[in-house]
Amino acid sequence: MLYTYRPRGVCSQLMEIEVEDNTLKSLRVLGGCDGNLQGIARLVVGMDVDEVIAKLEGIHCGFKPTSCPDQLAQALKAMKAEA
């Protein structure tokens, strides 16, 4: 399943997520801190979607109530709700 998500409250602008059999197959993030987001993508590809959500949900960026990792968790939760 290919899913596109527009993050809210962070610098990144778009997340393109591919999931197959509840495993994250690819992640591309446009905007935001490029190096950090590439690193996060490399770490989470191949992981179970529920594990990614559990590890990343609730992370804050500075004084913001969310972060790009948290927005990825929100995107995965939204994708699961639509499936």
Q: How many domains does the chain have?
A: 1
Could you tell me if 21 and 79 are in contact, meaning their C-beta atoms sit under 8 angstroms apart? Answer: no
Domain around 50: 2-82
pLDDT digits (tens, 9 = 90+) for 21-79: 999 999 999 999 999 999 999 999 999 999 999 999 999 999 999 999 999 999 999 99
Give the residue among 23, 28, 26 at the shortest CA–CA distance from 7. Answer: 28
Full-model pTM:
0.96
Strand residue runs (E) in 22-69: 23-31
The pLDDT value recorded for residue 83 is 80
CA distance 12 to 66: 12
DSSP state of 19: E
